[in-house]
A and B are shown apart, each in its own frame.
Chain A
């Protein structure tokens, strides 16, 4: 094996203080990017959680609906028109909307009502840990998430509150269904959803369309579009991506996260570039000696690139450990950080690229090195 790696490692570890400073820079940068991108992914997952958990092939939504939470309404007559089309197995109306949850103490808190016909099972609470979802059809029954017990003043099954003047009773509890808006989701039966949101009986927010297993998807979509007028027909994937685009980019939240990540990359690059440059300057005499001995420029570049790569590998390893810890710590928070294997791979590449780019300053300095320097006394 060439001595370039040995020389690079010794150059780095020779000055421990500078090495630690470099590591702090890289770790700070990578963790910052990891957290920002993890938040981005976590946010992206959260904003589409209802779309992801709906059991449907297609969505009929009001024209221009940007996301699941869009309050616009559809005429329910569309349901009958679409239900009769060849290839359509079921059309399930969905009623959603903001409402006020009044605690027994009289305190009010906003909630987001999600109502679907429970017999159709198109969008019902998941991760149910207590109670019975079917009980939602009895009276004004609701299902809430355990994480909102404090906000909703709920202690468990049987707790009561008031929504739009109706006394509701908790009959089912879920775990991990959190809203990115911080407004708790409250699952109810379709009929109750109309009452609790004030939605007229001939209206729905969305229609969920299930297709027969052998249906020609494109043909059925064409036929549905011909029937729904101004309303839009979207696949689940399309609705998911539209919702994400709206919340992540339409609101500026995603741009802020990306800006944070970019800042992390810039800070990391600058810190690594500075420490590598100063390390190179400290070892100029040695590089000049190598040049005087006849080494090629490439040989010296390799030493510097190896220094950058060692920085990258150690820095990324430490940052990954911290990242894993952060993921664990935020798993049950309002906005969990999601780190996928793709993100890890991308961050590894980013770290290497960042460190190698940082080495450019040092390399430009080396290009100008004069081997005759070693003869100066």
Chain B
């Protein structure tokens, strides 16, 4: 199987129309490979989220092509795009987006349920995924009773439980304190290095740079691709240690 999981070629995206038209992406070329954790960094409004949405088959580009595990998303309707996401992509969201009325295990199981995997095997896999993120003792706990870090770990378990080829994470550490941020990044790094998934993390949190295999820097819709540790990274603000969030109340 090819190591190339997601490939984007010549991606442009225009938002708005007429005098208000904004070019969010201007000819982005990008490949995400198996076993690699890639950071997508850049200032607000640089096009990070737009690119993530296009790579995650939730937004169609104005021009250019995206292939996910060899499947082109061009001209695909919404259901087809949903199927590509279902078959190949797991998501981790900044705000976790767990289902408050379901237990942690059921939240994870949901990712299998939408893939028509039900019953005992699904429950077993969900528990295993929670075990991998260190939450075996919280399987029956509802999200409201979990800390922010624990909720994000449940979200990661949900993203990886169906073994997708790619995991796309949107600012997964921005609401977390230092320890939790590190734990979450370690889990995402494990997804890439131990499970062989292509992991893309959109962030403007410089503290997670050490976890990256590759850093993409986007600015004004244009992408700069440099290996981690090389010049491009060095130009980034120096990573500060994870510190507890000022809004610590968010954690509980």
Interface residues of A (CB under 8 A from B): 1-4, 6-7, 10-11, 14, 285-286, 289-297, 299, 370-372, 374-375, 377
Contacts and interface: CB of A to CB of B under 8 A. Distances in A.
Interface of B: 49, 52-53, 56, 58-59, 78-79, 82-87, 89-91, 93-95, 97, 99-102, 106, 109-111, 113-115, 118-119, 158, 170-171
Given A4-B113, A377-B95, A295 B118 contact: no
Nearest to B83: A294
Nearest to B159: A293
A293 B111 contact: yes
B85 A292 contact: yes
Contacts of B52: 375
A288 to B, nearest CB: 8
A361 B118 CA distance: 29
B53 A290 contact: no
A249 to B, nearest CB: 49
B83 A3 contact: no
Contact of B113 (A2, A292, A372): A2
Given A295-B82, A296-B83, A375-B93, A290 B114 contact: yes
Nearest to A371: B58
Contacts of A3: 102, 106, 109-110, 113, 118
Contacts of A2: 113, 118
Nearest to B111: A293
A293 B114 contact: yes
A272 to B, nearest CB: 20
Contacts of B91: 292-293, 374
B82 A296 contact: yes
Given A7-B99, A293-B110, A294-B82, A375 B89 contact: no
A10 B115 CA distance: 21
B205 to A, nearest CB: 14
A97 B5 CA distance: 92
Contacts of B56: 292
Given A6-B106, A371-B58, A375-B49, A295 B86 contact: yes
Nearest to B96: A289
Contact of B101 (A14, A289, A297, A372): A14
Top 3 closest pairs, chain A to chain B, by CB? A294-B86, A294-B85, A10-B101
Contacts of A290: 110, 114
A291 B59 CA distance: 13
B101 to A, nearest CB: 4
A1 B121 CA distance: 11
A249 B148 CA distance: 67
Given A286-B99, A295-B86, A377 B94 contact: yes
